[in-house]
Structure 1
Amino acid sequence: MPRLYGSVRARTTVGATAVVAAALAAAGLIVVSLLRANLAGQADLRAEMTAREIAAELAAGTPYDRLDLDDAEERPVQIADSSGRVRAVSEDLQAVSGLGDPATALGSRAAGVLSGEDDDDLDEEDPRPGRVSDGAWHATGRATVDGRTTDYRFAAVEATTPAGETVTVHAGATLATSRDAVAAVGRAMLLGLPALLGVVAGVTWLVTRRALRPVAAIRGELAEITSSGDLTRRVPVPRSRDEVAELAGTTNQTLAALERSVTRQRGFVADAAHELRTPIASLRTQLEVAAAHPRLLDVAELTDDVVRLQHLAADLLLLARLDAGERPVSPEPVDMAELVRDELRRRPAGARDLAIEADVAEAPSVPGSRVRLARVLSNLLDNAERHAAAGIRVRLGAQDGMAVLRVADDGAGVPPDDRERIFERFVRLDESRSRDDGGAGLGLAITHDVVRAHGGQITVGDAPEGGALFEVRLPSAHGR
C-alpha cells in the first residue's frame, strides 16, 4: 500500500481541497459583505421613507397629535425642532442614543446630530414653508422601546410647517432582521463548507486514483520485468491520449532500445569469444609444439598470430568504448586534407601492388579525434585493398559545409541487400576468404561507429569503376 502522505493522489487531493476551501472562504466573505451592505441599504431606504412620510404630513400642516407614530418597535420616530426640543415621539419610545447629544436625543444639524454623515446631500438653508428637504442624514444608533434596547438605522429629514417652523424628523429601521439574515447565511455557509469540501476531496481522490491507475500498472509491469530480466515484455499503454499514454509509449521504446542493446551486447560477447578462440588456440598449439620440438618453432608465424590477437583486442576495446558513448575529452579541429595526405604517405605498399589515385581538395576542418578519424580512412583503404582488382581512388572535398571523403575500388562491389549489414560487427560477405585475409569483420563496424560518434554518416554505393564507393560526411568545426 503506498504511503498516503507521500503519494501524488494525497498531495493532489489536499491541494485541490485547500484551493477550493480558500476560494469558498473568499466567496463567502464577499457574499456576506454584499448581503450586509444590501440589507443596510434597504434599512436606510425604509428609515428614509418613514421619515419623509412623517415630514410630508408636517409640511402639509398635520398637527403633532394627529401623526401616525405607532409601531415604535419596527420604526421609532422622534421629531425635534430647531432648538433641539422634542415635539413628538413614537409610542413606547423611551430613549435614543449614539446619534449626538443625549440631552437632546437626536439633536439638530447645528449640534452635529448625525456626525455630519451625508451632510452634502442636504440644503444649507431650511426648506421653505410647506416643503421637505431634498437630502437626508443616515446614521446607526440605539433605541430603547418598551424596555428593550436594540440597534437601528436612522434617517433624518427636515421639514417646514406652513406656520414656518422647521423641524427634524428622525425615523429608524431595525437592524435585527438584517443581522439575523446575515447570521443565518453565515451559519449555512459554515455548515455547508465542510460537506462541500468533503465532496471535493472525495471526488478528487477518486478521479486521481482513476487517472493514476495506468501508472500503477506501468510500475508493476516494470517491477516484474526488472525481477524476471525478460526484456521482451512491454508495459500496457492506456487508450487515453494523454501524458500517461505518452509515458507508456516512451517506456516501451526505451525497453525496445534496451532489448536491442542487450541482444547486441550478448552477440558481441559471443562473437568476440569466438574470434579470440582461434588465435589463442593457434598460439597454444605452436607453443606446445615448440616446447616439445624447439627446432620446429616458426617465430614469424607466432609473431603474426600475436599481432593479430593484439589488433583484435584493440578493436574490441575501441568498440566497447564507442558503445559506452566515449567522446574526445577536448575535441580539436582536424585538418582533413592534411590527414588524408599523411595517411596515404605513411601507408606501406601492399602485397598486391594496387594503384591509389588521390584527389585531395581543400575541405573544412572537422572537430574530433585525429587518431580515430585516421582509423576511419585506414579501415576504408584496407577494405578497398582487400576487394579491389587493380586500383583505388580516394577523393576529399567539401559539400554543403561538410567534409566529404570518398573511397572507391574496382572490385565486385556490395550487393544492395547487404549495404546495411556490412557495418554490423563480425560480418564477412566473402566467406571464402580466410580469417587472415578477410580480418575479423570489425573494420567497417568501427568505421561506422567512429563516424557516428563524430556526428557524421557513412554510406556505400556503386563506384564508377564498378566496385564499391564508400562516402563519409563529417560536419565542419564552423558549422557546430
Structure 2
Amino acid sequence: MRSVRARAALGATVVVALAVVAAGFAALLVLRANLTDQAGLQAEVAAREIAGQLALDVPYDKLEMGDEEDHPVQVTDEDGRVVAVSEDLDAISGTGTDRVTPQPSAASSAAGDDDGRADDDRDDDDDDNGTADPGRGEVSTDEPDFDNGTATVDGDGADYRFASVEATQRNGLTLTVHAGAPLAAEQRAVASVRGAMLAGLPVVLLVVAGVTWLVTRRALRPVEGIRREMAAITASEDLSRRVPEPASRDEIARLARTTNETLTALEASVGRQRSFVADASHELRSPIASLRTQLEVGAAHPELLDVAGAVADTVRLQALAADLLLLARLDAGERPGNARLDLGALVHEEVSQRTGDRIPVTVSVPEAGGFEVTGSRGQLARVIGNLLDNAERHAEGAVAVEVRAEHGGAVVAVTDDGAGVPETERERIFERFVRLDDARTRDEGGAGLGLALARDVAGRHGGRLTVTGAGERGARFELWLPGSR
C-alpha cells in the first residue's frame, strides 16, 4: 500500500475498530453483570421468603413458593437430600443436586408429625410464662451463595440465577433453599445490545475511514504541491524556483521552508562551482597560452627560446593546479590529518626553504615552545607558505613572522609593510579568484586562490584566519589554531 492516505485511513480504521470492539466488550460485560445481579437479587428475595416459612416450621407441602416458572425452588437438608421442590419442576442444575423428587428425612418427617403438638405446647408455655420460645427457628443472615444453572418447569427449559439461603427449624434441622430467577431478560438485553453494536460497527468504521481519507488528503495537498514543484525543478534544472509555502505553521510548512532553504543553498553552491570552474579555466588559460607561445617560438627559432620564462610559467601552472586540486579535495569534504605538529618548528622549516625571496623574512618564535597543534602537516605548511607569498608580493621592505600562544591555541602572525588592505575589503580578499590590485600583471600577482585556500584549511582545522592593519602601513594576517589535547 503505497499511498500515505490509504495507510492513514487503514490505520485509523483498525485503531477505531479495536477501540470500539474493546469498549463494546466491556459494555456487554458490565451490562451482563448488572442484569445478573438484579436476577440474583430477585432469587435471593424468593429464597429468603421460603426460608422464613421453613423457620416457622411450615410443612413442606404447605410452603407458598409463588410463581414456579419465574422462581423454581429446591429445598435440601444437611445431607443434600431433596425435601421439597416447586410444583411442575422437571429438572434442575446449578444447585448442587439435580434431583427433583422430594425425599424427606426421618428427622424432618418427625418434626412435621409433631408440629401440632409442639405448637400447642409452646403456645401453652408462652401463655403461662409470657416469654418467647428459646428454640424458635431462624433464617441465616449471611450473604447467600449464587450460581447460574438451568431448570425445566412444565416441560419448558431456561437459564436461571440461583440463590442459596439457609434456614434452621425449631428442632435444629438446617435446610437450604435454592430459588432461581430467570436470566432470559438479561440474555435478551445483551443480545440486543450486541446486535446493535455489530450492525453499527461497519457504519462507524466506514465513516472513520472516509473522514480520515478526506482529512489526510487535505493535509497532504501541500506536500503534493511541493513534490510537483521539485519534479519541475529537477526537470528544468532551474534552481531559482521555489516550492510553495503553506500559510499554516505546521510540519508541512516547516518542510516547505526547509526545502526552499536547501534550494537556496544548492543554488549558491552550484553558482560558486560554476564561477570556480570559469575562473579556473580563465586562470589556467593564461600560463598555458604563454607557455605554448614560447614553445612554438622555440620550435621555429631555437635561439629565441626563453627557457627561464617557460620554466616560470610551468612552475606557476603547477602551483595553480596544486591549489585547484587541494580546493577540490576540501570541497569534497576531505578531513584534515590528526598528526601532532610543533607550529614553531613548522614556521622555521617553511622560512628556511624560501631562499629566493626578494625580501628577507624575520622570524620570532619563543624558545619556551608549547605550540603543538593537531592537523595535516602538508595543508598547514601550504597555509604558511601562502601567507608568506602574499606578504612578499605586497611588502615594500619588511616581512615578519611571529608565533605565540593565545586562548588555548597557537597563533602565527605574518606582517608586511605594504599598502595594507582596506577595511571594507578585508573579507572579500578571502573569496576565490579575488585580487584587489587589478593593475598588477598576472606574472607579478597571484591567481587569487592562496588566501581562500588558507582560510578553508584553517576552518577545517578548527581555527580561523583574519586580517587587520599593521600600524600605519601594511597588513597583518593571523592564523589561530587550537592546541593539541
Give the drift of 1:267. Answer: 0.9
- SS of the residue corresponding to residue 435 of structure 1 reads coil
The answer for the alignment partner of 2:123 in structure 1 is: none
1:131 match: 138
What is the deviation of 1:399? 1.8
Bigger shift: residues 354-363 or 413-422: 354-363
**Alignment of 1:345 onto 2:357:** no
1:219 aligns with 2:227: yes
1:443 corresponds to which residue? 450
The answer (yes or no) to whether the contact 1:61–1:162 under 8 Å persists in 2 is: yes
2:470 corresponding residue in structure 1: 463
Number of equivalent positions:
455
Q: Distance in 2 between matches of 1:358 and 1:301?
A: 35
Quote the offset at 1:21 in angstroms: 2.1
Displacement of 1:340: 0.8
1:322 to 326, 330, 333: 330
Q: 2:42 aligns with which of 25, 46, 50?
A: 46
Partner of residue 116, structure 1: none
Q: 1:440 to 1:160 in 2, by over 3 A?
A: closer
Structure 1 stretches of 5 or more lacking a match?
Answer: 110-126
Contact 2:5–2:213 under 8 Å retained in 1: yes
More divergent stretch after superposition (425-434 vs 463-472): 463-472
Please state how far the C-alpha of 1:29 moved relative to its aligned partner.
Answer: 2.5
Deviation at 1:452, TM superposition (A): 1.8
8 Å contact kept, 2:466–2:477: yes
| Letter of the structure 1 residue corresponding to residue 249 of structure 2 | R
2:80 matched to 1:74? no
Deviations 1:368-417 (CA, angstroms, capped at 9, x unpaired) = 21111011111111111122222122111222222222112222211111
Matched, 1:433 2:406: no
Q: Secondary structure at the match of 1:30?
A: helix
Q: What is aligned with 1:99?
A: 95
Within 2, Cα distance between the matches of 1:143 and 1:180? Answer: 18
Gaps of 5+ in 2: 106-133
Q: Which amino acid aligns with 2:10?
A: V
Query: Is 1:128–1:160's contact at 8 Å kept on the other side of the alignment?
Result: no
CA contact (8 A) 2:340 2:375 kept: yes
Aligned residues of 2:351 and 2:361 also touching (Cα < 8 A):
no
Work out the CA distance in 1 between the residues paired with 2:387 and 2:101.
115
- Shift in Å, 1:202: 2.1
Percent of aligned pairs with the same residue?
60
1:143 matched to which residue of 2?
A: 151
Work out the CA distance in 2 between the residues paired with 1:312 and 1:96: 109
Instruction: Report matched runs for 1:153-302 at 5 Å.
Output: 153-161=161-169, 166-302=174-310
Give the Cα separation in 1 of the matches to 2:102 and 2:210: 57
Q: Give the aligned CA root-mean-square deviation in angstroms.
A: 2.7
Q: Is the 8 A contact 1:70 1:91 kept in 2?
A: no
Structure with max Cα Rg: 2
More displaced, 397-406 or 242-251? 242-251
What does residue 391 of structure 2 align with?
A: 384
Q: Do the aligned partners of 2:83 and 2:102 also contact (CA within 8 Å) in 1?
A: no
- Matched with 2:2 is 6
Residue by residue over 1:432-470, the C-alpha shift from the partner in whole angstroms, topping out at 9 and shown as x without a partner, is 211111111111111112212222211111223532111
TM-score scaled by length of structure 1: 0.87
- Answer whether contact 1:78 1:171 (CA < 8 A) is retained: yes
| In structure 1, C-alpha distance between the alignment counterparts of 2:386 and 2:102, rounded to whole Å | 112
Q: Secondary structure of the residue that 1:440 maps to in structure 2?
A: coil
User: With structure 2 as the length reference, what TM-score do the two structures score?
Assistant: 0.86
Q: In the alignment, which of 358, 363, 384 is matched to residue 364 of structure 2?
A: 358
Aligned to 1:422: 429
Q: Residues 95 and 105 of structure 1 are in contact (CA less than 8 Å); yes or no, is this contact kept in structure 2? A: no
| Native 8 Å contact 2:464 2:479 kept in 1 | yes
2:459 to 435, 452, 457: 452
Distance 1:363 1:225, change over 3 A: farther
Shift of 1:9: 2.5
Deviation at 1:31, TM superposition (A): 2.3
* C-alpha contact 1:108 1:168 (8 A) present in aligned 2: no
1:87 to partner: Cα distance: 5.9
Aligned residue type for 2:333? G
Q: Is structure 2 residue 27 aligned with structure 1 residue 31?
A: yes
